[in-house]
Amino acid sequence: MSFNGKYEVESQENYEAFMQTIGIPAETIQKGKDFKFTTEVVQNGNDFTWSQIFPGHTITNNFTVGKESDMESMSGKKFKATVQFDGGKIVVDFGKYKHSSEIVGGKLVEISEAGGVSFKRTSKRLA
C-alpha cells in the first residue's frame, strides 16, 4: 500500500483527552485542536519522509521500516524508534504512546493510544 500524498485533517476524535494523557499543556492543546494542518508522505519502498505541517512549525521524520531511526514526537520529544509494517499499517512506539497509520478508502487514518485513551485523526487526500 502506498502512503504517498498530501493530506489535510478532516476530523479528530478524543484529541483533548489524548493530549492531556500524554502531558501536553492545556494552552498548547487549545491552540492545536482546530488546526487544519497537512501531512505530506513520500514513500520509496520501505523509506519514508513523513512531515506534519502546522502553522509556523513542521515536524519531519525520515525513517526506514524495520530500522532504528531518529524520531520526533508531536510534543517535540526526540528519541530513537523502529517503525514496522503490521498488515497495511505503519506502527511505531513513541514512548508515551503507540501510533498507527493506514490508508482507508483513500484517506489517511491515524490512531494513537496512551493510558487507555485512543485518539483518531482522519485526513483527506489533497494530492
Measured from the Cβ of residue 100, the count of other Cβ atoms closer than 10 Å reads: 16
Q: What angle do CA 1, 116, 30 make, to 5 degrees?
A: 85
Q: pLDDT digit of tens for each residue in the chain (127 aa)?
A: 689 999 999 999 999 999 999 888 888 888 777 777 899 999 999 999 999 998 788 999 999 999 999 998 766 778 899 999 999 999 998 777 899 999 999 999 999 999 999 999 999 999 7
DSSP per position, 65-89: TTSEEEEE-TT--EEEEE-EEETTE
Cβ atoms of residues 118 and 16 within 8 Å: no
Computed from CA positions of residues 37, 26, 14, 59, in that sequence, does the dihedral angle turn out positive or negative?
positive
